Structure 1
Amino acid sequence: MVDPIQGESEGGQDEPTTRTNWLWRRADWEALRAELSQTNWEDRLTGTLNEQVEAFTSHLLSLQSNRHPRWKTDLTAKLSGQNVGKKEWWSSLKQQQGLATDSTIPPLTTPSGEVVTRGRDKAELFSAHFSTKMSVTHPNNTPPRIPVLTTAELDSLHITMEEVMALLSKTDTKKALGPDNISPHILRQCAAELATPLTQLYRECLTSQTWPALWKQARVVPVHKKGSRADPKNYRPISLSPWWGRRWKSSSREKSPPSSTPTTSLTQSSLGSGRVSRQPTCFS
């Protein structure tokens, strides 16, 4: 990863952070495809489902790191010229330190009236607030019965390599990275090479009726709703989950039998979203 530029944190400034920015337009895609084609997935994807997913993710991250130019090299060339202005130089320095002032979250006010300005403090404040929205008042109570609104059944769900390849090739490269840090550029550029191992993992999910722990993780982004931006209560959480789960949901929904009346999931209903959910398979 790119080495952070160290500096002292004063006042309400954040501590220096480490960032890796990739130059995808200069990636060696042919070399990456060749390495993926030569990967023995049968030997690599062994053990439990969680172990297979961890091995798959680790291998992709390793190739991503080795085959893509990083921002630091480009930054050196950018700032080595004689015509670099002060504004550009200091802006680049602060961005690398994690001290850039482009945060969309203004200073926040805690329940006790204290004002927080550091990124970590804001994150902890949002975490405490959002967690209260996801807790159940009486967790031991029997959940309410949801009425059956359709007799349609999905007896089986078969995932083909051709379907997975099509999903990979349609990946939107403008989407943000998920918590696994695997770039959507790799998924789209290497769709043919990744279709085989990903199909194997999806089928293992069906066989074991479990969902990998790594794919359950998400980055939570606070989005302002209305009212004062200084009040954490005026934000709602948006989860940036790994690509694998988002595409699975889209693919499985397309295979769900048509329902005369859409069913709304209990979780979504309790959050007031009112969105339709037709999940054909249950995972733990």
Structure 2
Amino acid sequence: GQPGYLHSFAMSERHLVFVLTPYRMREGKAFFERLRFAADLPCRVAVVAKDALAAPRWFDVDFGMVYHFADAFEQGREIVVRASRHGNPVAARSPFAAAMRGEVAAEEDPVELVELRIDLAGGSVRWDETGIRGTEFPTVDARATRPRQSRIYAPVRQGRALAPYPNAIASIDVHRGRMNVHRYGDEIMAEEHVFVAKPGSHRAGQGWLLGTLFDPVRGRSGLAVLDAEHLDAGPLASAWLPFMFPLGFHGAFRWDA
């Protein structure tokens, strides 16, 4: 098969969706530094029906590096997948490499919240831009069953920031083109937040966001809890430790039944 890089995948009601980006591996160095853009290869999308795992359908699409998906929905014979897409093939191979060194990236990496639209009947795939830029680590309330109902939660950069990294958390209504944002401050680095549904709630979006923070000025790390429906009101609770710990809840929250 064609070489390429796969980081994660999306899941709709009846299908799994994989985006295979055109990179080849070279020997030596750390993992992401080994990736080299293969301009001679297409960016490929595999769609796999859950009841036919051995029979993927393959499509070609314009370049887009997708590390993290938000959600996916089926509308008739079309699958709509929402994700953060990196557009610069060189910078996209390790988008936070400069930030981890405390530097500003030498190459611009335009990351956009996009919709990958897969027409199963017509056999075509395209990226649709939402006009929302600078998002990564998107997450959702999995109880949402329709795109208009779903909000996407993601770290963003708002205003002045001392570090080349997100300093805010946003709730994004893609359908209306609106964002509700809490900005932690110039010096605070905000990582991905997880959605925690309120016990007994039934409407999508009723819950909290729990996220990790890093304050490099004071040398401390913390946690924040926000009302997912009112991010602009700020944290309901926060806690700081007088030392640093690894950033990020890279997953999802689930109540034990």
* Coarse TM-score class (shorter-chain normalised): under 0.3
| Structure with larger Rg | 1
Normalised by the length of structure 2, the TM-score is 0.25
Normalised by the length of structure 1, the TM-score is 0.24
Which structure is higher in RCO with an 8 Å CA cutoff and minimum separation 6?
1
Structure with a larger share of its residues in helix: 1
